Structure 1
Amino acid sequence: MSTMPQLSPELTKALHEGLAIPAHPLALNENRQLDERYQRALTRYYIAAGAGGIAVGVHSTQFEIRLPEIGLFEKVLRIAAEEAERHKPDRPFLKVAGICEPTAQAVAEAQTAAGLGYDAGLLSMGGLKGWSEEELLKRTEAVARIIPVFGFYLQPSVGGTILSYDFWRRFADIPGVVAIKMAPFNRYQTIDVVRAVCSSDRRNDIALYTGNDDNIVNDLLTVYRFPVNGELVEKRIVGGLLGHWAVWTRKAVELLEEIKRVRNQSGLDAEWLTRNIEITDSNAAFFDPAHHFEGCIPGIHEVLRRQGLLPGRWCLNPQEELSEGQMEEIDRVYRDYPHLNDDAFVSAHLSEWLNG
C-alpha cells in the first residue's frame, strides 16, 4: 500500500475524464506590484468559465515570484486557493501548484502548496541544467512524498531539458505521479512520454495532459496505441493544462467538452483539422514563437487587458514586452477568428468578478 499523498476519488475520476486547466497569470499594477483585486478577479473568471482547475505559480504566473526580493509565491497561491474556496463550483476543481528549482526548494514549495490545500504539484524539470536523469527522478520521489505529482515535460526553448524515453518510463513507475503534462512542442518527444506511460504497470493511474499549445486539438483527438508485452495498449491525452487556455477560457472549456463528445466516434469530421490550425495560429500571436516566445507572457496579458481582466500587461521583468509586430498579430487573430474569443462572456460578468 502506497503511503504517498493521494487525490480524492472524485478528483481522480475528473482528472482521468479530462479537465481544462488554465495556467494562471499574475496581475500587476503600473508599479509592477501585485494588484490583488485583479488577481482575484482572474481566478473568479476561470471558475465561472467552467475550468476544471487552475495551475498557479507556473510559467504564466512568472517564475520571478520566487525571488526573495519579490516574495509572491505563497501569496498568489493563497489568493487563488481562497477564491476557489469562496466561489467553490459544483464540480470537481483541481488546484495545481507550480513547483520548480532544486530539490530543497522544490520540497519547500510542495510543503507550502500542500499546506494551502493544493491537490497536486506541477513539477517542472526546467532550469536544472547539468542534472542527471537519476537526480531528477530522486527529486520527483521527494516531492511525491508531500503532494501528488503532475509531471511536466517543458520545451527546451523556454528552459526545458530533453529527457529520454527511459526517464519517462521510470518516472511513470513512481507511485505519487498522478498525471503528466507534455509540453515539448515536439511530436517525437510527446510520443516518448505516452509510450513510456503505456509500458508502465501504472498506466491506468496516470492521466495524460497536453501542454503542446501548438497542437491542442490534435493531441486531444488522438488515440495512442503501442504493443506492450504482446498486447496493444491504448491511451489518450484527456485534457489540457495550458497557458493558451489562460485566455478565451470559456471557449476552451466548450472546445474540450465538444471533443469529449466526438472523440470516440469513427469517421471524425476533417473540420477538426482546420480548427486545430485556427487555434494554433491564434496561439502563435499570443505566444510569439517568431521571437523565441519572448513575448509569451505579455501576449497573454494583452488579451486579458483588452477584455478588462487585467489593468495592463506589465510583467515583473521590465524587459518583458510584446515583440515587434506582435500587437498586430493579436489584432489579426481577433479579426480572423471571432468565434474563438469569449469577449461577450467576459463583458457580461466582468463587474461581478472585479467587485465580488
Structure 2
Amino acid sequence: MGLHWQDWPAGLLDRLRAGCVIPAHPLALTAERKLDPRRQKALSRYYLDAGSGGIAVGVHTTQFAIREVGLFEPVLRIAAEAAAEQAQAPLLIAGAIGRTAQAVREAQLARGLGYHAVLLSLAAWKGASEDEIVAHCEAVAKEMPLVGFYLQPAVGGVPLPASFWRRFAQIGNVVAIKIAPFNRYATLDVLRGVQEAGASDRIALYTGNDDHIVGDLLTPFDLGGGARLRIVGGLLGHWSVWTRAAVELQARCRAVGDGPIPAGLLALDAQVTEMNAAVFDVANAFHGVIAGCHEVLRRQGLLEGIWCLDPQEALSPGQAELLTAVAKRYPQLTDDAFVRANLERWLS
C-alpha cells in the first residue's frame, strides 16, 4: 500500500507549502571512510535545531555511492531517529535514483523508515523519451509522494522542457519540485509547466538554484494567464552549511510578500552566490562541491574531517582560502556562534 500526501501527519503539508529550509544532508565519515553514526546524527540535530522544516537524505550531497557500500538504509535510519527527537515532526525526504525498479525499491525502503516523500532524480534517464520518463515518475508516485528534481545538466541532469513539467505536475501524488537547473530559462520552463497543469495550489516550488537563491525566493512570477507563482523555500546543498543563517534568510524573504523589496535584502543575492561559489568550487566545475560543504562543517567541529567515499573527491587548490575569505567577508551569513553553543549537546 503506497503513501499519499493526504496521509501525512497534521501540519506537515502546510509547512511545506508555506515554505521552509530543507538542507541536503551530507555524509559523516571516519578517516577510514566508514560511517560515523555519532556525527551523522549530530548533523541531523544541527539542521533541525537550526529551524529547518525538514531534511533530505540520500541525495547528491549525501553521495550517491552510499548505495554501493551499503549505507543507504543506515543514513536514512539515523536521520529518522534524530527527527523522532523533535517535538514537531520535520519533513523527511529521501533521495531515489536509477531506473524504475531501483527507484521503487528505494521509495519503499524510505516509506518503511517513516519518510514522507522522495526526491526523484532523473539522471538515469538520459536519452529516454518524455513518455518513458513520465511513466517512471507515475510508477514511483504510487509508492510515495514525489518531489520533482530538475538537476542541472552540468552535473548529470537531463534537459526537461515545459511539456514534461506540465505532465509531471498532473501526477496527483506530486507535492513539490526542486528547481535546480542553474538556468533562468529552464527555471521558467518548470514554472510554466506547473501553471499550465493548474497545479500551483497543490505543488510547492523550491529553489535548488544555488547560484540564485535569494533572487528565486523574492521574485513574483507573473507568467500571464494564471495566478502568481512563488518559490517558497529551498532544498539545497548550500543550506547544509551555515543553516541557522539560511533559516533567517528564508524567513526574511518570505516576510516581504508582495511588498517592496529592501535593497539590502536584494543585495544578499550576490553575497550568498559568492559564498556558494567557494563552497561549491565553481571555479573547478564543481569538483570540490561535497568536500567544500564538509570543510565548513569540519571547521565548526560537526565533522572530524572532509573525507568522501571517493578518495579523489577533495578540496581544489585555493578552495580553502576562498572559504576563509567569504566567511570573513559576510559573517552575517554564517552561524559559527550557534554551532559552538550547541555542538556538545548534538554530539552527545
Question: Is the TM value for this pair above 0.5?
Answer: yes
Q: CA deviation at 1:225?
A: 1.1
Which stretches in structure 2 are left out of the alignment for 5+ residues? none
> What is the aligned partner in structure 2 of residue 82 from structure 1?
81
Residue 109 of structure 1 pairs with residue 110 of structure 2? no
> What is the aligned partner in structure 1 of residue 118 from structure 2?
121
Within-5 A mapping of 1:273-292:
273-292=266-285
Within-5 A mapping of 1:1-356:
5-7=4-6, 8=8, 9-67=10-68, 70-85=69-84, 87-90=85-88, 92-228=89-225, 232-265=226-259, 267-355=260-348
Q: Describe the superposition over 1:201-230 as per-residue Cα deviations: whole angstroms up to 9, x where unpaired.
A: 2221100000000000010011111223xx
Partners of 1:32 and 1:315 within 8 A in 2: yes
SS of the residue 1:55 aligns to: strand
SS of the residue 1:204 aligns to: coil
Q: Describe the superposition over 1:59-106 as per-residue Cα deviations: whole angstroms up to 9, x where unpaired.
A: 000000011xx1100110011001100x2133x511000011110000
Comparing 194-203 with 72-81, greater Cα deviation is found at: 194-203
AA of the residue aligned to 1:151: G
Q: 1 CA distance for matches of 2:335 and 2:3? A: 40
Q: 2 CA distance for matches of 1:132 and 1:109? A: 23
Q: CA deviation at 1:4?
A: 6.4
Q: 2 CA distance for matches of 1:296 and 1:24? A: 13
Q: 2 CA distance for matches of 1:164 and 1:170? A: 10
SS of the residue 2:55 aligns to: strand
Q: 2 CA distance for matches of 1:340 and 1:60? A: 20
Partners of 1:47 and 1:89 within 8 A in 2: no
AA of the residue aligned to 1:103: T
Runs of 4+ in 1 over 3 A off after TM superposition: none
AA of the residue aligned to 2:90: F
SS of the residue 2:293 aligns to: helix
Q: 1 CA distance for matches of 2:250 and 2:330? A: 18
Identity of aligned pairs, percent? 56
AA of the residue aligned to 1:245: W
Partners of 1:43 and 1:83 within 8 A in 2: yes
Alignment coverage as a number of residue pairs: 345
Q: Describe the superposition over 1:2-34 as per-residue Cα deviations: whole angstroms up to 9, x where unpaired.
A: x86124352111111001000000000000000
Q: 1 CA distance for matches of 2:252 and 2:87? A: 20
Which stretches in structure 1 are left out of the alignment for 5+ residues? none
Partners of 1:198 and 1:234 within 8 A in 2: no
Partners of 2:298 and 2:306 within 8 A in 1: yes
Distance 1:293 1:127, change over 3 A: farther
Comparing 193-202 with 38-47, greater Cα deviation is found at: 193-202
Q: 2 CA distance for matches of 1:150 and 1:119? A: 10
Partners of 2:138 and 2:171 within 8 A in 1: yes
Q: TM-score, normalised by structure 1?
A: 0.95
Distance 1:4 1:111, change over 3 A: closer
SS of the residue 1:127 aligns to: helix
Comparing 323-332 with 144-153, greater Cα deviation is found at: 323-332
SS of the residue 2:197 aligns to: coil
Q: 1 CA distance for matches of 2:4 and 2:142? A: 7
SS of the residue 1:97 aligns to: strand
Q: 2 CA distance for matches of 1:172 and 1:250? A: 31
Q: 1 CA distance for matches of 2:115 and 2:173? A: 15
Partners of 1:119 and 1:148 within 8 A in 2: yes
Q: 2 CA distance for matches of 1:4 and 1:299? A: 35
SS of the residue 1:223 aligns to: coil
Q: 1 CA distance for matches of 2:325 and 2:198? A: 47
Partners of 2:3 and 2:111 within 8 A in 1: no
Q: Describe the superposition over 1:92-144 as per-residue Cα deviations: whole angstroms up to 9, x where unpaired.
A: 51100001111000000000001111000000111332222211111111110
